[in-house]
Amino acid sequence: MSHPLSPLGVVHTAISLIPIVAGVYGFIRHRAIDPATRAGKLYLLGLVLSVVTSFTVSSTGGLNPGHAFGVVILLIAFGGVLAARLRFLGRLAPYLSAFALSFSFLLSLVPGVNETLTRLPVAHPIAAAPLAPVILQTLLGCAAVFAIGFVAQCWRIHARNTRAGG
Q: pLDDT (tens digit, 0 to 9) for every residue of the chain, 166 residues total? A: 455 778 898 899 999 999 999 999 999 999 999 999 999 999 999 999 999 999 988 777 778 888 999 999 999 999 999 999 999 999 999 999 999 999 999 999 999 999 999 988 988 999 999 999 999 999 999 999 999 999 999 999 999 999 987 5
Length of the chain: 166
- What is the rounded end-to-end Cα distance, in angstroms, of the chain? 57
Nearest to 13 by CA among 74, 69, 61, 56: 56
Rounded alpha-carbon distances, angstroms, from residue 83 to 69, 75, 80, 116: 21, 12, 5, 32
